[in-house]
């Protein structure tokens, strides 16, 4: 089932691509604004980085809009949203995630049933520059998440329909990396109560306390327009009805220009809501303005 917001998000992307000149001038180097994670913040596909969306420098504004779709065969996740960055200091983002229950929905007698989550994010650059300073760029962020229908999360043991994730990220781009290729490294520490990033609510019958989760990304620029990499996201395991595993993806991103990025990945999501071995292809389109 196609999420209701996707036609509107696609129209918005087309408008951005047709808008011509970007708000940020030449700004930062290609790809150094990162991609967009499924919760709306600049980073990889599943991990927020310390970089901010767009290519604006200290006296410019900018941002991104994105659409993402992941299909494991049993489940499908679609996400869309946008982020705006002000003077390369503060990023504000908003994303909508639609999780099609697929096989599980059919087993529950509710074919076509989806879970919906809204995420409002803020990220603050604390110090450094990912490219131009010896020390990594540091940023602190928060993601306020709301489940618009709490019926199923509550039934499986979740305690709250709303949750707040807090994170600290460090990102460094080594322009003269191994084999004369640019190398991007990120480490993120997240405090969270989110079950399956919040799609199954927050807190659970096993625990309703914040846990610190590790996240990491690494990417290599094959040329000035192509990046390949890997991401890892550790996740809590607070619901007794089903095990929750860490997420991993292997991605390739192509930047034909600073206005657009095309991303494909293989995502390994482990066990989700009693169904094991959830893995599949991940596709995303990002427009930069």
Q: What's the whole-number mean pLDDT along residues 205-211?
A: 96
Q: CB-based burial of residue 174 (10 Å sphere; 0-12 exposed, 13-18 middle, 19+ buried)?
A: middle
Q: Is 181 helix (H, G, I), strand (E, B) or coil?
A: coil
What range does the domain containing 46 cover? 6-288
Q: For residue 266, give the CATH number of its domain.
A: 2.40.160.40
User: Does residue 177 belong to any structural domain of this protein?
Assistant: yes
Domain count, the chain: 1
> Per the domain annotation, does 1 fall within a domain?
no
Averaged pLDDT of the chain: 90
Inter-CA distances, 57 with 23, 62, 197, Å:
11, 9, 31
86 belongs to a structural domain: yes
> Per the domain annotation, does 158 fall within a domain?
yes
Indicate left, alpha or beta for 4 from its phi (over 0: left) and psi (-120 to 50: alpha): alpha
Strands (E), 33-159: 35-36, 42-43, 61-71, 76-86, 90-100, 114-127, 137-147
- Residue 211 within a domain: yes
Q: Is the pLDDT of residue 170 over 90?
A: yes
The pLDDT assigned to 35 comes to 94
pLDDT digits (tens, 9 = 90+) for 228-276: 999 999 999 999 999 999 999 999 999 999 899 999 999 999 999 999 9
Instruction: Please report which confidence band the pLDDT of residue 182 belongs to, taking 50, 70 and 90 as the band edges.
Output: very high
Please report the pLDDT score of residue 57 as a whole number: 79
Single pTM value for the model: 0.90
In a domain, residue 15? The reply is yes
pLDDT at 4: 52
- pLDDT, one tens digit per residue, over 128-143 is 999 999 999 999 999 9
């Amino acid at each position: 089932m196609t999420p209701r917001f996707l036609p509107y998000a696609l129209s918005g992307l087309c408008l951005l691509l047709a808008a011509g000149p970007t708000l940020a001038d030449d700004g930062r180097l290609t790809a150094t604004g990162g991609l967009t994670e499924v919760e709306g913040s600049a980073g990889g596909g599943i991990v927020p980085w310390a970089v901010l969306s767009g290519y604006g420098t200290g006296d410019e504004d900018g941002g991104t809009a994105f659409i993402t779709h992941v299909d494991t065969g049993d489940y499908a996740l679609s996400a869309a949203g946008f982020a705006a960055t002000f003077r390369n200091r503060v990023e504000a983002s908003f994303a909508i995630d639609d999780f099609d229950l697929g096989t599980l929905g059919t087993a529950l007698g509710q074919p076509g049933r989806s879970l919906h989550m809204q995420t409002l994010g803020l990220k603050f650059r604390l110090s450094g520059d990912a490219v131009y300073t010896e020390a990594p760029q540091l940023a602190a962020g928060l993601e306020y998440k709301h489940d618009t229908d709490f019926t199923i999360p509550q039934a499986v043991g979740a305690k709250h329909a709303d949750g707040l994730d807090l994170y600290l990220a460090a990102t460094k781009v080594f322009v003269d990396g191994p084999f004369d290729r640019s190398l991007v490294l990120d480490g993120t520490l997240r405090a969270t109560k989110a079950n399956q990033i919040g799609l199954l609510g927050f807190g659970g019958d096993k625990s309703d306390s914040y846990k610190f989760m590790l996240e990491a990304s690494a990417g290599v620029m094959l040329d000035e327009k192509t990046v390949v990499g890997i991401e890892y996201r550790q996740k809590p395991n607070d619901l007794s009805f089903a095990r929750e595993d860490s997420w991993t993806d292997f991605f390739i991103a192509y930047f034909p220009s600073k206005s657009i990025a095309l991303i494909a990945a293989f995502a390994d999501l482990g066990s989700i809501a009693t169904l094991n071995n959830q893995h599949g292809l991940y596709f995303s389109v990002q427009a930069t303005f």
